């Protein structure tokens, strides 16, 4: 599958399709069961460079990853302390929320509430370069983009609507920003990888722009009639 948008924004890497499957292709990148730790965003970067990565609940060692990929809710009792200021035997913490109570409320009312609404998941979740997608129907499409490309995609997301909020930027783990949020809100696009913990796995000049597959098809259908073929964009296109 090819993308008109990818060509119009001069994307040098591959758009990544997030695909559910009951089977796993051969020769994919995958964490082993009982792997001590690993970040799904590192796999996302590899998929944007032509690799296929596969995940199951058992081969996703990070709590945040299992939640961000939609496999299971955050289990409380540790994560709210790690996400905030420590305590309860947690030695290292991220200080992303002021205290465990604030972190717990975010986890329960936002992250876990979104996961509860998801349809039953298949065993495998695949990150596939979009050009390798054939008969599957992806759940989410992710672009890894620079600032100029991001400006184009944010503008395109509002092109066929009088609204101004076609794209959202929300707090969350990198995998939640890029996968869980567009899985849960299919009519919006999302800027992701603002999570400082995930950014070390991605090029410093890139952010994620993700959307449901339905939203992707909608934007693909209007891209060539939009400003992406007009003078203002041409000036940016030349310097990308």
Q: What is the model's pLDDT at position 76? A: 95
For residues 58 and 133, membership in a common domain is answered with yes
Q: How far is CA 191 from the centre of its chain?
A: 8
Q: Pick from 117, 152, 186: which residue ends a domain?
A: 117
Q: Find, among 105, 61, 60, 57, the residue nearest to 80 by Cα.
A: 105
Element (H, E) at 191: strand 189-192
For residues 153 and 45, membership in a common domain is answered with yes
Number of domains within the chain: 2
Task: Show the DSSP H helices in the chain as ranges.
Answer: 4-8, 40-48, 63-68, 79-83, 100-106, 112-117, 147-157, 174-175, 181-184, 196-199, 213-222, 231-239
* Whole-angstrom distance, CA of residue 208 vs CA of residue 127: 14
Q: Is residue 67 part of a domain?
A: no
* Whole-angstrom distance, CA of residue 24 vs CA of residue 192: 26
Q: Pick from 117, 151, 185: which residue ends a domain?
A: 117
Q: What is the model's pLDDT at position 34? A: 72
Domain around 48: 4-62+122-239
Q: What is the model's pLDDT at position 177? A: 98
For residues 135 and 229, membership in a common domain is answered with yes
Q: Which residues of the chain are modeled with pLDDT < 50?
A: none
Q: What is the model's pLDDT at position 36? A: 72
- The tokens of 167 are what? 């794209």
Q: How far is CA 32 from the centre of its chain?
A: 22
For residues 76 and 39, membership in a common domain is answered with no
Dihedral angle over CA of 95, 98, 103, 105, nearest 10: -170
For residues 30 and 96, membership in a common domain is answered with no
- The tokens of 221 are what? 């259908």
* Whole-structure pTM value: 0.95
- The sheet that has 124-129: what strands, in order across it? 53-55, 124-129, 16-21, 140-145, 207-212, 189-192, 167-169
For residues 107 and 199, membership in a common domain is answered with no
For residues 177 and 222, membership in a common domain is answered with yes
* Whole-angstrom distance, CA of residue 186 vs CA of residue 207: 20
Please state whether beta strands 16-21 and 140-145 pair in parallel, antiparallel, or not at all (unpaired).
Answer: antiparallel
**Is 208 exposed, middle or buried, given 0-12, 13-18 or 19+ CB atoms closer than 10 A?**
buried
């Amino acid at each position: 599958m090819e993308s008109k948008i990818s060509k119009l924004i001069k994307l040098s890497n591959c758009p990544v399709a997030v695909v559910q499957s009951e089977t796993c292709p051969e020769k994919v990148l995958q964490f082993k069961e009982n792997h001590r730790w690993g970040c799904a965003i590192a796999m996302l970067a590899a998929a944007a460079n032509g690799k296929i990565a596969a995940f199951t609940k058992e081969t996703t060692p990070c709590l945040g990853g299992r939640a961000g990929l939609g496999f299971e809710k955050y289990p409380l009792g540790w994560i709210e302390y790690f996400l905030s200021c420590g305590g309860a035997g947690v030695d290292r913490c991220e200080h992303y929320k002021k205290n465990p109570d604030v972190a717990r409320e975010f986890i329960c009312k936002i992250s876990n509430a979104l996961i509860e609404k998801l349809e039953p998941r298949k065993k495998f979740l695949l990150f596939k370069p979009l050009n390798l997608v054939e008969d599957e129907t992806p759940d989410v499409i992710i672009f890894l983009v620079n600032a100029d490309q991001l400006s184009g995609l944010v503008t395109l997301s509002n092109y066929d609507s009088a609204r101004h909020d076609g794209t959202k930027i929300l707090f969350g783990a990198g995998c939640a920003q890029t996968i869980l949020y567009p899985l849960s809100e299919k009519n919006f696009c999302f800027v992701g990888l603002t999570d400082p913990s995930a950014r070390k796995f991605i090029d410093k000049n890139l952010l994620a722009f993700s959307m449901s597959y339905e939203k992707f098809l909608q934007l693909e259908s209007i891209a060539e009639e939009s400003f992406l073929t007009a003078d203002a964009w041409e000036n940016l296109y030349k310097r990308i």
